[in-house]
Structure 1
Amino acid sequence: MTDAQNIFYTSISTYYSEIFPFNPMQLKFVKNKLGELYGKSILDIGCATGELAFQLVTGGAEVTGIDLNEDLLQQAISNKKHEKLTFQQGNMLELTTDFKAQQFEAVLCFGNTLVHLNSEALVLQMLVGAETVLKPGGKLLIQLLNYDYICGQRVEALPLIETENIRFIRRYNFSDDSELIGFQTDLEIKAENHTVSNETSLLALKSETLKALLEKAGFRNIEFYANFKQDAFGGKHLPLVVSCEK
């Protein structure tokens, strides 16, 4: 995570769970891929405020959640307490330093977290680390956005997120000279009549490139979906959900 990305998450941390509430389809997807959760050890990369991690331990798993942003992580530590749940500050590029080889049955990386790494080489480093900390047969589950569609159609804005308290506006700025795209956000806080604006760079990681990197890292049985319901990937949809196996 770059300094700009960290500043962005700090600036929206108070409203993060309101902007991105728990999505029950994520839990259903994980259960579908892992089967019985009881006793399974799971690493949640980019755990943010810990919403999914808490649901996983409630279902019987043992979960470690990592995030680089201290403000989000502190919310998780304060609000999501469970004897089988651990939160710690961690970098997805340092998995082999922070964890043992073959420690987890599953590694999750949801919330478009992966594309905060600004090069394919760094993505490969993360994937190799995930493969190392997974047990044989363990699952890597990823959710990012469908940059095949976003870049191909030059999608300039993502759907507006609005609640009683906030409006969250997200826009993309494209460059023909870079695989990075600008991600511009405006968080309008209604009660304060105040807007928090940020811009950072994200890696426009296409599906073919991601598949090649996964294979290079040693993963097999790679499956792409259009959403957590596991609809077929391809076309004009925003999510890209991935399941693969060590």
Structure 2
Amino acid sequence: MEDPQRFGAEPAAVRETDHYQAEYIQSFVEKWDELIDWDARADSEGKFFIDQLKARDKHTVLDVAAGTGFHSIRLLKAGFSVVSADGSAEMLSKAFENGRQRGLILKTVHADWRWLNRDVHGKFDAIICLGNSFTHLFDERDRRRALAEFYAALRHDGILIIDQRNYDGILDVGFDSRHKYYYCGDQVVAEPEYVDDGLARFRYQFPDGSVYRLNMFPLRKNYTRELLFEAGFQRVSTFGDFQETYQERDPDFFVHVAEKAYE
């Protein structure tokens, strides 16, 4: 059987950061918005990210995991100045097209987080890294390097907003997602087909029968928080499905708001 995503004979052995380039093939990217369902996702998250940015008086935003442009476009419409970056050229092309269809011209940059400041210039009030994207980094050195690049691209009082799946729940209890907040496309099945402490392999099946997979590193919540503090961030607030209070196993996703400024 043809393997366009190049996982090979032992897909659970694929644990390299750079493999994401082979995973986001054009046919998968074209279906990505079916998975997200922009209208349903906008309804579910409300103005959470807009409110977090406005509450801290942030104006310039670097979206380092722009994907097909959902958050970049929402922030542009809300009046923010946005630069949209992604490691996948296919995703950036789709994001630009999505922006143009909505009367917007996205400022796009093809950039790898590990060398972010080589390709993205200037300082930003805020960086957003959303859509469970940080879990594409399999090597701890890559994670630390990326966070250092994010930190350096922020102004002295900048913030980083980064999200992740609730991998603690998946690893400790099992997968039980209501897809209420993130992957809202009700005709798409998105679930893990293999999980261990170093790999969460997700399978996505679309209404036409097509199937794609993504390999991700299952970041535990407290580990991510520790990395953020060790990168230099002074305060980290963690939300469960956009709520400040939550039961650890309940949320589908965690959102970390990391602040650079000293008290």
Specify if TM > 0.5. Answer: yes
Q: Secondary structure at the match of 2:47?
A: helix
What residue is the counterpart of 1:108 in the other structure?
Answer: 128
Task: Say which is worse superposed, 86-95 or 105-114, in terms of deviation.
Answer: 86-95
| Aligned counterpart, 2:84 | 65
User: Unaligned regions of 5+ residues in structure 1, if any?
Assistant: 190-194
Deviations 1:72-128 (A, max 9, x none): 221221231467731122212221212336x10000011000001112221111111
The letter for the 1-side match of 2:60 is: S
Q: 1:90 aligns with which of 111, 117, 122?
A: 111
Percent of aligned positions that are identical? 21
Cα distance change of structure 1 residues 169 and 54 upon mapping to structure 2, 3 Å threshold: closer
The answer to whether 1:29 aligns with 2:30 is no
Report the 3-state secondary structure (helix = DSSP H, G, I; strand = E; otherwise coil) of the residue aligned with 2:242. Answer: coil
- Among 5, 13, 16, which residue is 2:32 paired with? 16
The answer to whether residue 202 in structure 2 is matched with residue 183 in structure 1 is: yes
1:228, distance to aligned residue in structure 2 (A):
2.2
Listed one character per residue, the Cα deviations across residues 168-188 of structure 1 (whole Å, up to 9, x for unaligned) are 34223123xx52222233233
1:43 aligns with 2:59: no
1:158 Cα deviation (Å)?
7.1
Q: Give the secondary structure class of the aligned counterpart of 1:205.
A: coil
Report the structure, 1 or 2, having the larger strand content. Answer: 1
Match in the other structure for 1:192:
none
Q: 2-side partners of 1:208 and 1:236: how far apart? A: 16
Q: Which range is displaced more, 142-151 or 104-113?
A: 142-151
**Contact 2:129–2:163 (CA<8 Å) still a contact in 1?**
yes
In 1, the alpha carbon distance for the partners of 2:58 and 2:229 equals 28
1:122 to 1:186, Cα distance in 2 relative to 1, 3 A: same
- Supply the distance in 2 between the matched residues of 1:43 and 1:109 (Cα, whole angstroms): 9
The amino acid that maps onto 2:23 is I
Aligned pairs, how many?
236
In structure 2, distance between residues paired with 1:222 and 1:49? 27
Q: Which amino acid aligns with 1:60?
A: G
Contact 1:142 1:243 in 2 (8 A): yes
CA-based RMSD:
2.7
Could you tell me which runs of 5 or more consecutive residues in structure 2 were left unpaired when the two chains were aligned.
1-16
Which of 206, 216, 240 is equivalent to 2:254? 240
Contact kept, 8 Å, 1:107 with 1:139, in 2: the verdict is: yes
Corresponding residue for residue 79 of structure 1: 98
Q: Secondary structure at the match of 2:171?
A: helix
Residue-by-residue CA offset, 1:205-232 (whole Å, 9 max, x unaligned): 1011111111110012101111124443
Matched, 1:7 2:23: yes
The residue identity in structure 2 corresponding to 1:207 is K
- Residues 224, 37 of structure 1: CA spacing in aligned structure 2 closer, same or farther, 3 A cutoff? closer
Q: TM-score, normalised by structure 2?
A: 0.79
Identify the match of residue 235 of structure 2 among 208, 221, 227. Answer: 221
